[in-house]
């Protein structure tokens, strides 16, 4: 059994890229937890800790503490396991079972087995049910959950959003506009390059799980901070590299990282601005790559630190 567990763990880890592997800090598992999380077993219905659990907060992956679901999406389906009709952005990966009939759900961060997902049952307005083993979950009450926001502009917000949603501790990422004078700008307004706004992402994160500096380092590693006229093939003022900071500490963090990059020979042109009003972009811009199944064309990870 120990050999089987080891082989299963290695199988999960080798599905992750090198960058993600470095970020993983996996929690130790009991024999029962390993049987479900690593060996894909199922706990008995109506026996799990979180089946009738109704506190307000966030459900986390038992293996890596990545946020998966909020209590607002939990409902009683009567099936005997915790049920959710929505997941946090980028938190869940769906895999077709070997029999081709059911769809397994695993943690997108570490690959831990969670349960299965079902659609078309009509149990809620969202018409989807994530059926999850309690033993695959941890829980953090909202009273203990402190959320912070960070704002980065690094070219097309589609690719920025795609990369930040994969970070452990990031609760959500929204694409939008910031920095201009025009109120309630549309994508058409911003794309003209005359509104003064940049394409920006709003990163909502749990600072107990990920630091602002970790996010800022990723920002500098998924776009070219030396490009002066845009990002990749996207040219124009709305695609310039910038960080909108909310306080002195964030400002100093960005300046420190720019100093490190400059010392390495990079001519960083990233501009710092005070945090401004964030205008969320149109719905079709949110989770663009998740919806389309495509991959970013100009946001490729390059280790710089």
d(CA 113, CA 41): 9
- Confirm whether 110 is a catalytic residue: no
Distance from C-alpha of 195 to C-alpha of 31, rounded to nearest angstrom = 58
Angstrom distance (rounded) from CA 220 to CA 231? 12
The active-site residue, picked from 107, 110, 131, 298, is: 131
131 among known catalytic residues: yes
What is the C-alpha to C-alpha distance for residues 280 and 111, in angstroms, rounded to an integer? 31
- Closest to 68 measured CA to CA, from 119, 112, 33: 112
Neighbours of 68 (CB within 10 A): 27
Would you say 57 and 145 are in contact if contact means Cβ atoms under 8 Å apart? yes
Q: Which residues share a beta bridge with 104?
A: 95, 116
CA of residue 57 relative to chain centroid, distance: 17
Choosing from 107, 110, 156, 298, the catalytic residue is 156
**Which residues are tagged catalytic?**
131, 156
């Amino acid at each position: 059994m120990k050999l089987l567990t080891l082989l299963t763990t290695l199988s999960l880890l080798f599905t992750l890229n090198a960058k993600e592997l470095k970020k993983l800090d996996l929690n130790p598992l009991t024999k029962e937890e390993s049987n479900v999380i690593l060996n894909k077993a199922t706990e008995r219905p109506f026996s799990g800790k979180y089946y009738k659990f109704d506190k307000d907060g966030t459900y986390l992956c038992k293996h890596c503490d990545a946020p998966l679901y909020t209590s607002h999406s939990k409902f009683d389906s009567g099936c005997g396991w915790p049920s959710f009709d929505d997941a946090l952005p980028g938190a869940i990966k769906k895999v077709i079972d070997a029999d081709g009939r059911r769809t397994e759900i695993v943690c997108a961060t570490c690959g831990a087995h969670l349960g299965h997902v079902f659609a078309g049952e009509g149990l809620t307005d969202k018409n989807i049910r994530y059926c999850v083993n309690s033993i695959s979950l941890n829980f953090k009450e909202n009273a203990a959950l402190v959320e912070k926001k960070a704002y980065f502009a690094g070219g097309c917000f589609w690719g920025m959003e795609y990369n930040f949603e994969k970070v452990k501790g990031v609760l959500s990422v929204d694409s939008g506009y910031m920095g201009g004078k025009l109120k309630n700008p549309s994508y058409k307004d911003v794309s003209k390059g005359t509104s003064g706004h940049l394409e920006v992402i709003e990163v909502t994160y749990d600072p107990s799980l990920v630091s602002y500096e970790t996010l800022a380092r990723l920002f500098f590693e998924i776009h070219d901070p030396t490009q002066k006229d845009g990002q990749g093939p996207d040219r124009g003022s709305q695609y310039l590299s910038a960080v909108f900071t909310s306080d002195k500490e964030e400002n100093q963090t960005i300046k420190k990282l720019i100093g490190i990059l400059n010392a390495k020979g990079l001519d960083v042109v990233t501009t710092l601005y005070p945090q401004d009003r964030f205008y969320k972009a149109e719905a079709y811009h949110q989770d663009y790559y998740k919806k389309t199944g495509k991959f970013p064309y100009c946001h490729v990870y390059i280790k710089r630190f």
